[in-house]
Homo-oligomer: A and B are copies of this chain.
Amino acid sequence: MSGVAVLAHSGGPTPVINASLLGVVQASRRLGRPEKLWAARFGIEGILREEFVDLLGQPQETLDRVAHSPSSAIGSSRREVQDADLGQVLSVFRKHDVRYFYYTGGNGSMGTANQIDGAARASGYELHVVGIPKTIDNDIVQTHHTPGYGSAARFFAEAARDIGADNEALPGQVEFLEVLGRNAGWLVAATSLARRDPDDPPHLIYFPEVPLPFEKLVGDIDRVYTRLGRCMVAVCEGQLDEAGNPFGADVRQGSRGALAMNLGHRLAMMVSAKLRLKTRAEKPGLLGRSSAAFISDTDWEESRMCGEAAVEAADRVESGKMVALCRRPSPKYEIDTQLVPLSSVALTERLFPAEWRNGDAGMPEYRAYAEPLTGPIPGVARLQRKEKT
């Protein structure tokens, strides 16, 4: 194994993406090859600009601190990779004798990795491309879950519990929590994880996979509020109404289509006008993918493992593969890494399973799936209702 290895990050950082960087460094040091491991600064843009940072020479203390810090320590990019870019990437790789490429990202980035692998093969340039999965959205196929999801799920589970406790202490209000996740309901589902009793918040959870007529939302809230005198609603940033519109929210064109920028607030204003109730909305937004305080130990370790597995795979001269997480068929939670073809992952999206969307029943299948990833989420603590004597 000679030549240079390059690691790059793509898309939105997660709280544990730097743990996968640590795994890449650890495996490279252990194998002792190749002799050079570089990180591209700001993802694909760093490759195009030939802006690299040495990773093997980093002090261990620095690596350890970075590995426990959220966001990407090497920078990332949302740049759409065009055909012209592919040739330029290969040209840079040839110039520096880059023979190993670890690309950390979501399903779109796995598509890019697959294109780079294909372009290298087509031009007869020996290059080993291995994808490292990363997305808080948990929407990559062929893997039990994605590194990043467990920590972000823990964030939203605790956020729903804590904001819900506030709403319970100061009733008379409808509270919206806007949750990340784009088109997939994996993160909005996580707001259910601290629920223990049927009336625990959030009282209403909407999945972006299902269009939400405004009249249904209003009716649902009215029923909960009439019964409890308060209501907490978890809604995904990508939620659309029955006409396919984001309820009049301001939208921005991003790398993956239009993104509503203030959906929770818009819904709060609309519901307030309709039901004449006090409403408000919280939007933790990027905190959900960057908050150090909610890193799940399991998520961190699995992300590190994926980095290690990518290097080991490249060392076995694999290419065109993504590292995936595979749960052993045992009651105890045990995870192995395996390799799946990039082509089977690229540009597909795994939505939240329809059969798990049984919010009223407490979503037991989802809970069994998610709890090992987040670690324990304690329920809210309440006093015993002892009447005065």
Which residues in A have some Cβ–Cβ distance to B below 8 Å? 9, 12-13, 36, 38-39, 42, 52-55, 57-59, 62-63, 65-66, 68-78, 158-159, 161-163, 165-166, 168-171, 175, 250, 252, 261-262, 265, 268-269, 278, 280-287, 289-294, 380-389
Contacts and interface: CB of A to CB of B under 8 A. Distances in A.
A290 B384 contact: no
B13 A62 contact: no
A69 B166 CA distance: 11
A166 B385 contact: no
A195 to B, nearest CB: 15
Contact of A13 (B77, B170, B278, B283): B170
Given A158-B292, A261-B268, A287-B282, A166 B13 contact: yes
Query: Quick one: copies of this chain in the complex?
Result: 2
A384 B25 CA distance: 14
Instruction: Identify the interface centre among A57, A291, A292, A384: most chain B CB within 10 Å of its CB.
Output: A291
Given A54-B387, A389-B54, A170 B77 contact: yes
Contact of A383 (B58, B261, B268, B385): B58
A374 to B, nearest CB: 13
Nearest to A13: B169
A12 B75 contact: no
Contacts of A294: 293
A252 B265 CA distance: 13
B262 A265 contact: yes
Given A54-B386, A162-B290, A291-B158, A269 B250 contact: yes
Nearest to A67: B381
B286 A381 contact: no
Contacts of A168: 71, 75
13 contacts: A9-B169, A53-B385, A53-B386, A58-B386, A62-B384, A66-B383, A70-B162, A75-B170, A158-B293, A175-B286, A265-B265, A282-B284, A293-B293
A72 B52 CA distance: 51
A36 B389 contact: yes
A276 B41 CA distance: 25
Contacts of A261: 265, 268-269, 280-281
Instruction: Identify the interface centre among A53, A290, A292: most chain B CB within 10 Å of its CB.
Output: A290
A387 B384 CA distance: 61
A57 B166 CA distance: 24
Given A13-B170, A166-B13, A286-B175, A57 B386 contact: yes
A282 B285 contact: yes
